[in-house]
Amino acid sequence: MAGKPAGLTASWSEVWLLDGVRTPFADYNGALAQVSPTDLGIKAARAVFARSGVSPRDVGAVITGSMAQASFDTYCLPRHVALYSDVPIEVPAHMVQRVCGTGLEVLMQAADFVTHKEIELTLCVGAESMSRNPVASYTMRDGFRMGGVDFKDFLWEALRDPAADVSMGDTAENLARQYQITRGEVDAFAAQSFERAVAAQTSGFLAGEITPVKNETFERAPYQPRALKLKGVKELAADTHVRPSPLATLAAIRPAFGGVQTGGNSSAIVDGAAAALVASSDYVNTSSKAALARVRAGATVGVPPEIMGIGPVPAIKAVLERAGLKLSDIDRFEINEAFSAQVMACARELGIDEAKLNVNGGAIAIGHPLGATGVRLTLTLARELKRARLRYGIAAACIGGGQGIALLVENPDLPPPRKN
């Protein structure tokens, strides 16, 4: 159809991000390493109800996202998040999966539910345990021959795309070559991400979206209790990967993929969860709650797998076209920092001013728990728009396999924009 934006797009007129919260993001094999993603999701869900003052009994649908089969009962993750956060027993729950864009997809589906399924309030949860990715075999069911045992590290193998025969890191290296991005530039970008995240943590901005986590039991009669138990600490109240990381330190790290990307200038591997409430205008009005953001438009677009990191570019273009806005109208961007070179390539292709991009740090410093990241990006973005008294923001992510996703939100505290 002529004039139609590429990919899948949608716009919504009466959808609101009512509130949101997340757990701290903990380093791989750190304090959250033994916690099921289900329990991380339950914790975040309970926290968003406690923070917002909204009753879980008002929820009409539960949408969750998680990538790895990181617990034997993860098939039931959506249902258990709903049950143990005290959502009514008759309310359905389901899981979505769009790799690194999963959390954004959760919010976009919630917006569709509010618009088209007469749902007044949707609970949205993204949860991921990167530490509990299993060592797995897909060939043992029929037995094996001597010497033929085939177990592999699920987390490591999942970072490779067999279609293009590249690792996710290789896709960033492809973009670095295409956009002539140097090792010095990617390290400087990473140093800035850490510096901004340290400042946001020190000022208390990040703490404003975090619920501290302690050992806890979750109960819902007549069902079996569940438990969340930390590793090595009694309480976790802040992201653990955020730390001073000067350029000289990052420059000393060896390349991970034979080019510019290293463990220091790529997204941190962390565990964590985030939850949000997406509501209709009627619910916002009757509940007298001050919404965090208006959810305006979303887009998902495919790109070649070998340069999957460029995915945010066509997704952002599509969401702008859908919303009738220009890039210059957008005051803040949260683009997931899968890799420094990947985000830099997107910023260069679009012409984004880095003063508007990931101003409180990104996944290089904070971390990237796959299923939770999109919710975190949107929550951080909405809070930043309110703090800075700015109007429009876009959260976006590249997606393994070759896709991009973007979500446009608006600060509800400002008067309507003037019409030309």
* pLDDT tens string 139-165: 888 888 888 888 999 999 988 999 999
The answer to whether residue 100 is catalytic is yes
Residue 17, SS3 per DSSP: strand
Q: How confident is the model at residue 4, as a pLDDT?
A: 65
- Check 76, 100, 124, 346 and give the catalytic one: 100
Pick among 3.40.50.720, 3.40.50.300, 3.40.50.1980, 3.40.47.10: CATH of 8-133+206-239+265-287: 3.40.47.10
Question: pLDDT below 70 — which residues of the chain?
Answer: 1-5, 420
| Contacts of residue 126, Cβ cutoff 8 Å, sequence gap at least 6 | 41, 64, 65, 66, 102, 103, 106, 273, 274, 275, 369, 371, 372, 373, 374, 375, 376
Pick among 3.40.50.11740, 3.40.47.10, 3.90.230.10, 2.40.30.10: CATH of 296-410: 3.40.47.10
Cis omega (within 30 of 0) for bond into 222:
yes
Please, are residues 20 and 48 in contact by the beta-carbon 8 Å criterion?
Answer: yes
pLDDT one-digit tens code per residue, 81-135: 999 999 999 999 999 999 999 999 999 999 999 999 989 999 999 999 999 999 9
Q: How far is CA 358 from CA 187, 194, 242, 327, 334, in A?
A: 16, 11, 14, 16, 5
- Check 76, 124, 346, 398 and give the catalytic one: 398
- Domains in the chain: boundaries: 8-133+206-239+265-287, 296-410
The answer to whether residue 76 is catalytic is no
**Cα first-last separation, the chain:** 29
pLDDT one-digit tens code per residue, 343-378: 999 999 999 999 999 999 999 999 999 999 999 999
Question: Do the bridges between strand 270-280 and strand 15-22 make them parallel or antiparallel, or are there none, so unpaired?
Answer: antiparallel
User: What is the distance of C-alpha 335 from the center of its chain?
Assistant: 10
* Share in percent of the chain as helix, strand, coil (round to 5): 40, 25, 40
**Hey, what are 114's tokens?**
């509010």
Q: How confident is the model at residue 161, as a pLDDT?
A: 94
Q: How confident is the model at residue 1, as a pLDDT?
A: 44
Would 8-133+206-239+265-287 and 296-410 be classified into the same CATH topology? yes
398 has which bridge partners? 404
Distance CA 28, CA 14 (A): 39
